Amino acid sequence: MSAELQHREVVTVPARYGKAVRLNKGEAVQVINLHGTQVVDCWAYNASDVSEYMCMEATRVWNQRLNPRVGDSFITDQRHPILTLVADTSPGVHDTFMAACDARRYELLGCTEPHRNCHDNLHEGMAELGVMLPHGNLASFNIFMNIQVQPDGITLKTLPVVTKPGDYIILRAEMDCYVAFSACPQDIVSIQGQGDNTPRDVEVRILTAGFPQVNLQGPWVPGNAA
């Protein structure tokens, strides 16, 4: 499939840092786990009004799923689809529960020096595009992050990623939007793969054609077939 993908830009998200891109409606962004070991936090904003943001709570209501599968969309706080997952070559393990890491999180983990963090990376990535966000947002889509719901149905277990080098997802833009990514700097809690807790670079490609097209699904309504 990848031979057919056409891109207009390639962006490296360096380990521990963040980058953002601007997508036109109908374009897509491919997020490539180059080393197969990295968690990538992701946010999205309406390009014409960045007060409208991709909202994990509204997304779970829309899809009636804890985490997205191919064909599922991500929904804004204004209940509009903003991104749709149209391809996923990874095992499909992602997370919508866990807050992005921030400065306070590392203090709580015992760090006595400032630690790079995803929440600052969000603001840094957007600022590089000249966009100031009206407020922070800890509710990221955590691509490749392995948070397992335990058999009791309520307990969560934090585990390393299960992705292979080169695995990717593709997110299609359902409106003109900004999408921000952070190659999560977490090196204290074991979430990055290979057991070495070492953040690594990932690659983001803005795709213009060649990616799978799936129909946009409407919101879940009681009584409709799942």
Check: CB of residue 58 under 8 Å from CB of residue 76.
yes
How many chain residues touch Zn ion (CB under 5 A)?
4
Task: Say if CB 205 and CB 7 are below 8 A apart.
Answer: yes
Q: Which of the stretches 55-63, 94-102, 107-115, 170-178 binds Zn ion when contact is defined by CB under 5 A?
A: 94-102
User: In angstroms, what is the minimal distance from the CB of 188 to Zn ion?
Assistant: 11
Contact between 202 and Zn ion by CB under 5 A: the answer reads: no
Contact mark string toward Zn ion, 129..168, x via CB under 5 A: ----------------------------------------
Among 64-72, 118-126, 195-203, 216-224, the segment contacting Zn ion (CB under 5 A): 118-126
Reference 87, options 31, 23, 3; nearest CA is 31
**CA-to-CA separations, 40 to 150, 211, 225, in angstroms, rounded:** 23, 21, 32
Closest approach of Zn ion to the CB of residue 186, in Å: 5
The residue type at 173: A
Q: Does 118 engage in binding with Zn ion (CB under 5 A)?
A: yes
* Stretch touching Zn ion by CB under 5 A, among 56-64, 70-78, 87-95, 101-109: 101-109
Whole-angstrom Cα distance, residue 14 to residue 94? 20
Can residue 122 be called a binding residue for Zn ion (CB under 5 A)?
no
Q: How far is the CB of 155 from Zn ion (least distance, A)?
A: 22
Task: Calculate the CA 36 to chain-centre distance.
Answer: 15
Phi, psi at 29, each rounded to 5° = -125, 130
Whichever of 126 and 184 has its CB closer to Zn ion, that residue is 184
Q: How far is the CB of 113 from Zn ion (least distance, A)?
A: 17
Among 42, 126, 147, 184, the residue binding Zn ion under the rule CB under 5 A is 184
Write the CB contacts of 59 (distance below 8 Å, at least 6 apart in sequence).
68, 72, 73, 74, 75, 96, 141
CB of 14 or CB of 26, closer to Zn ion:
14
Q: Per-residue string for binding with Zn ion, 17-56, x by CB under 5 A?
A: ----------------------------------------
Alpha-carbon gap, residue 162 to 90, rounded angstroms:
8
**Minimum CB–partner distance for residue 31 and Zn ion (Å):** 15
| Phi, psi of 118, deg, nearest 5 | -65, -35
Residues 93 and 167: their CA atoms lie apart, in Å, by: 11
Site residues, Zn ion (CB under 5 A): 101, 118, 184, 186
